Amino acid sequence: MRNNKAYYFLLPAIVLLALFVIVPMLQIFYFSFLKYNLFEESKFVFFKNYKLLFADSNFRWTLFNSIIYILVTPVIMFVSLMLALLVRQQTRFTKFFRASLFLPVVTPIVIVGIIWRWIFTEENGLLNYLLSLFSVNQLHWLTNYPLNILSIMLVVIWRGMGYYMMLFLAGLAVIPREQEEASRLDGANKFQQIYYIILPMLKPTLILVFVTSATSAIKLFTEIYTIIPGAPMNNKTLVAYLYQQSFERFDFGMGSAVGVVIFLLTFAFSYTNIKLMEREA
């Protein structure tokens, strides 16, 4: 219907989104050009924050680490697609399998961190004990770089597999089964069916999972903060660096510059996503 009273219904949402999402987004671009902290008057410094950032080896390491974390994406895609294909058929156990695999997804990340930090503990930790049964020497899961990156990746995969499995199930649900059926009658084996029929039709979901998983890898923070809080900054990630600059040193200018870098990285992914989806349509 045509009625200008619509504005009243829209008002709370638009005011809040403008004030707390759109304006802050524009502000971090602006702040990133300022010398801006809680202690002195802010001042325009052009690209100085960016120059300082790239001169700081800690920043370069966290940038590197955050990009490295994107490597979990192919693993997550493989594991969760495999799980989705395995629980696709409705059987007596499907519901139980799905629920169990989804449990880590709904668990607050702080608790995920608490659980895994304990498992990774080096002295008498569970993981090192299990490895000792296979006569593997104690590994420093939390303190040895880059092993601690691998530990965190393991946690990210553990927590993410159920979520992406569900996304794949949603994608699989809309694929018509006739073709699969026909190819089976023509003698195609399971792997040929997956490769030639399921995967091409699953492309939109594959892209969605890739983009979501890659962007959340770039934004990784809480796992780092709870599992390896004591590790040096060059073992951590961009958001951890942003947090340190902004809320431990209260250097909002530098923090915002880090934010801009993170935005550009995630934007590259979401933009590709939109472009690919447009081409599909």
Partner 1 sequence: MRKVLKYGILVLFVTAAVFPFIWLLSTSLKGAEELFAFPPKLIPNKLVFENYSGAWNSVPFGTYLVNSVLIVIFSVTLNVLIASLAGFALARFKFKGREFFFLIVLASMMVPKEIIIIPLYIIVLKMSLADTLAGVVIPFAADGFSIFLMRQSFMSIPKEIEEAALVDGCSLPRLWWSIMAPMTKASMATLAIFSFIGAWGDFLWPLVVLKSPENYTLQVGLNYMLGTFINNYRYVAAGAVLTIIPVVLVFLFMQKYFEKGLFAGIGK
Query: 122-151 in b/e burial notation, b at 16+ Cβ within 10 A?
Result: eeebebbeeeeeeeeeebebbeebeebbeb
Please list the residues that pair with 34 across neighbouring strands.
44
Q: Pick from 65, 66, 216, 244 the residue near partner 1 by CB under 8 A.
A: 216
Work out whether 16 is an interface residue with partner 1 (CB under 8 A): yes
Work out whether 97 is an interface residue with partner 1 (CB under 8 A): yes
Size of the site for partner 1 (CB under 8 A): 93
Contact 171, 204 (CB under 8 A): yes
User: Distances from the Cα of 33 to the Cαs of 46, 66, 216, 255, in angstroms?
Assistant: 5, 23, 26, 11
Q: Pick from 31, 59, 210, 241 the residue near partner 1 by CB under 8 A.
A: 31
Work out whether 185 is an interface residue with partner 1 (CB under 8 A): no
Q: Pick from 46, 134, 173, 280 the residue near partner 1 by CB under 8 A.
A: 173
Work out whether 232 is an interface residue with partner 1 (CB under 8 A): no
Rounded Cα gap, residues 115 and 131, in angstroms: 18
Work out whether 211 is an interface residue with partner 1 (CB under 8 A): no
Rounded Cα gap, residues 158 and 40, in angstroms: 45
Work out whether 99 is an interface residue with partner 1 (CB under 8 A): yes
Q: Give the nearest distance from C-beta 177 to partner 1 in angstroms.
A: 17
Site residues for partner 1, window 151-170 (CB under 8 A)?
158, 161-163, 166-167, 169-170
Work out whether 233 is an interface residue with partner 1 (CB under 8 A): no
Site residues for partner 1, window 236-265 (CB under 8 A)?
239, 242-243, 246-247, 252, 255-256, 258-260, 262-263
CA torsion through residues 151, 258, 29, 54, sign: negative
Nearest to 31 by CA among 19, 17, 45: 45
Q: Which is nearer to partner 1, 47 or 96 (CB)?
A: 96
Q: Pick from 43, 51, 95, 275 the residue near partner 1 by CB under 8 A.
A: 95
Work out whether 69 is an interface residue with partner 1 (CB under 8 A): no
Work out whether 88 is an interface residue with partner 1 (CB under 8 A): no
Tokens matching residue 44: 């325009």
Work out whether 5 is an interface residue with partner 1 (CB under 8 A): yes
User: Distances from the Cα of 118 to the Cαs of 112, 122, 133, 148, 174, in angstroms?
Assistant: 10, 9, 19, 14, 41
Instruction: List phi, psi (to 5°) of 110.
Output: -60, -40
Q: Give the nearest distance from C-beta 18 to partner 1 in angstroms.
A: 7
Nearest to 173 by CA among 280, 92, 88: 88
Q: Give the nearest distance from C-beta 23 to partner 1 in angstroms.
A: 7
Q: Which is nearer to partner 1, 20 or 47 (CB)?
A: 20
Work out whether 136 is an interface residue with partner 1 (CB under 8 A): no
Rounded Cα gap, residues 211 and 32, in angstroms: 26
Q: Pick from 78, 111, 192, 196 the residue near partner 1 by CB under 8 A.
A: 111
Task: Give residues with Cβ within 8 angstroms of 212, minimum separation 6.
Answer: 164, 167
Q: Give the nearest distance from C-beta 77 to partner 1 in angstroms.
A: 15
Q: Which is nearer to partner 1, 115 or 147 (CB)?
A: 115
CB atoms within 10 A of CB 205: 21
